[in-house]
Amino acid sequence: MKKFDLNIERILENWETHHAIREIIANALDEQLLTKTKGVEIFKHGNSWIIRDFGRGIKYTHLTQNENQEKLASTNVIGKFGIGLKDALATFDRRGAIVSAKSKHGQITIAKSPKQGFQDIITLHAIIEDTVDPNFVGTEFELNGVTDKDIDDAKKLFLRFSGEEIIETTKQGQIVKRNKGYGNIYINGVKVAEEENFLFSYNITTLNSSIKKALNRERTNVGRTAYTDSIKKILLSSTKKEVVEMLVKDLTNINAGTAHDELGWLDVQEHSVKILNREGKYLFITSFEAMQYPDMIDQARNSGHEIITIPENLKLKVQDSKDLSGNPIVDIGQFILNYNDSFTFNFVDPEQLNDKEKAIYQYTQEIIDIFGGKPKKVKEIKISSTMRRDLFSGVETLGCWDEKSRSIIIDQKNLKTISNYSGTLIHELVHAKTGYGDVTRSFENGLTNAIGHICKQLLEK
């Protein structure tokens, strides 16, 4: 029998029994990962609880509180920061639990004993005895004096035992569907914090310097500032529709002040819109636009678009941008462009017009001459029996300037009267000449100038 002084100078007074059990489980899970052996077993045997892995077996050298170089070189292991086993043994002693560990290398128990060379100083020692089974596989911890609740509370600190479902795995970590009224923050599968207003739980597997610095000896109360950047990176790496739909759905709660905290990050909002736009037919609008253009919104719904209400600052961020597949984000402006591009005109040959329509149509060149001549942009004047609706007003337009085909297109209905035809034609000639759309100051000025010119022409005649 040998005595090994644990040299614990500062006892973690706030640790409960389940925190100590957590360290035993963490070591077992690490050993399973490093050795690729079968799963860790946690079970009750009589009045004791057993925690067993099937790795290489514990040695007394593991009781030194030094960073494990093997764990430092490995990803996804839990105990890479020299936190753990000695603190666990001290907590078991302080809480009145009896602990023993056995492997092929020996058996370990704990007891109070005088410090070597200082008989008046009593410290916690590990008692090292020879193994009773040199063929024993792995390490078995037996805990006596711990409750079922202690075990249950300890297991809840691990993602794998939490019952929470992993939705998506990224290079930075995992997005986890929370199953309680708060989000859990895990680092390599171990819980380090809770967030009351997070939409998801998260398991961070790529550790930056902020997290490494914030991970204290207690493994608790890691502040949000340490892991915010990592969680953003996890979300910005997400490509799964289920995640994005939950984020975008929560966007609608921003104006009401009830959205989860992740939705306060504009870059996460933008990323969500870019993924969702790629996945289906969506129209992203602001609440103001929804009130301003109800007919257009109805048209979008009727054409199979799902309406997503987003904040004004997000609209400005995604305006004229593209999704992850390189397609334009469908806001109101893009929806109108798509609608116009998809519309098919039914052009009518002038020879197919009836006599009354022909009589009015023959004034086309005279109207153009009165206007001041056909703008260079205009290639031809066309008549169509079908016209696309004005998505702002919900009514069919009388005519349009189609810049793509360099054509002014007039609704055939305008050929009922010379006033309707000439008024619509001049209106579209101004559009073609100025390049400005309706309800703009520049177009209004152009229209005023055209009316003035026509009046001058007529009065001089």
Model confidence over 204-241: pLDDT tens digits? 998 888 888 777 666 667 888 899 999 999 999 998 88
74 confidence band (pLDDT: 50, 70, 90): low
Q: Determine the pLDDT at residue 81.
A: 43
Window from 81-90, 333-342, 410-419, 437-446 with minimum mean pLDDT: 81-90
SS3 265: coil
> Quick one: 69 and 108 in the same domain?
yes
Q: Where in the sequence is the domain holding 425, given as residue range(s)? A: 350-460
> Quick one: 116 and 168 in the same domain?
no
β-strands 306-309, 183-187: how paired? unpaired
Q: How many CB atoms lie under 10 A from the CB of residue 89? A: 25
- Counting the structural domains of the chain, the total is 4
Note the residue count of the chain.
461
- Cα–Cα distances in angstroms (integers) from residue 304 to residues 271, 294, 297, 298, 324, in the given order: 23, 16, 11, 10, 21
Tens digits of per-residue pLDDT, 360-380? 999 999 999 989 999 999 999
Cα dihedral sign, 242-248-249-253: positive
Tens digits of per-residue pLDDT, 251-310? 878 878 889 999 999 999 999 899 889 988 999 999 999 998 888 888 889 889 999 998
pLDDT at residue 11 greater than cutoff 70: no
Q: In which residue are the tokens 């340490």 written?
A: 226
Contact (CB, 8 A) for 103 and 59: yes
> Quick one: 389 and 456 in the same domain?
yes
Q: How many CB atoms lie under 10 A from the CB of residue 64? A: 13
Q: Determine the pLDDT at residue 218.
A: 61
> Quick one: 174 and 286 in the same domain?
no
Q: Determine the pLDDT at residue 355.
A: 92
> Quick one: 25 and 129 in the same domain?
yes
> Quick one: 64 and 40 in the same domain?
yes
| Cα–Cα distance, 291 to 297 (Å, whole number) | 9
| Cα–Cα distance, 366 to 207 (Å, whole number) | 76
121 confidence band (pLDDT: 50, 70, 90): confident
What percentage of residues in the chain have a pLDDT greater than 90?
53
pLDDT at residue 114 greater than cutoff 80: no
> Quick one: 105 and 130 in the same domain?
yes
| Cα–Cα distance, 120 to 256 (Å, whole number) | 66
> Quick one: 184 and 286 in the same domain?
no
Strand order in the sheet with 380-384: 380-384, 407-411, 399-402
Q: Determine the pLDDT at residue 453.
A: 87
SS3 114: strand
Averaged pLDDT of the chain: 87
CATH number at residue 394: 3.30.2010.10
Contact (CB, 8 A) for 21 and 161: no
- In terms of Cα–Cα distance, which of 271, 225, 285 is closest to 263? 271
Q: How many helices (H) and strands (E) does the chain have?
A: 17, 17
pLDDT at residue 142 greater than cutoff 90: yes
Which of 313, 342, 371 is a domain's end point?
A: 342
Which of 205, 236, 267 is a domain's end point?
A: 236
Which of 172, 205, 236 is a domain's end point?
A: 236
Contact (CB, 8 A) for 12 and 218: yes
pLDDT at residue 134 greater than cutoff 90: yes
Q: Determine the pLDDT at residue 82.
A: 44
> Quick one: 28 and 143 in the same domain?
yes
**Higher-scoring residue by pLDDT: 246, 11:** 246
Q: Determine the pLDDT at residue 327.
A: 93
Q: Determine the pLDDT at residue 76.
A: 58
Averaged pLDDT, 392-409 = 81
> Quick one: 223 and 246 in the same domain?
no
Window from 5-9, 113-117, 177-181 with minimum mean pLDDT: 5-9
> Quick one: 245 and 223 in the same domain?
no
Tell me how many degrees the CA angle 81-82-85 measures, rounded to the nearest 5: 130
- In terms of Cα–Cα distance, which of 406, 402, 418 is closest to 364? 418
173 confidence band (pLDDT: 50, 70, 90): very high
344 confidence band (pLDDT: 50, 70, 90): confident
DSSP 8-state class, residue 183: E
Tens digits of per-residue pLDDT, 44-68? 999 999 999 999 999 888 877 555 5
- Prediction pTM value: 0.71
Tens digits of per-residue pLDDT, 317-342? 999 899 989 999 999 889 888 877 77
pLDDT at residue 43 greater than cutoff 50: yes
Strand order in the sheet with 98-103: 2-5, 118-129, 106-115, 98-103, 139-144, 48-53, 41-45
> Quick one: 257 and 383 in the same domain?
no
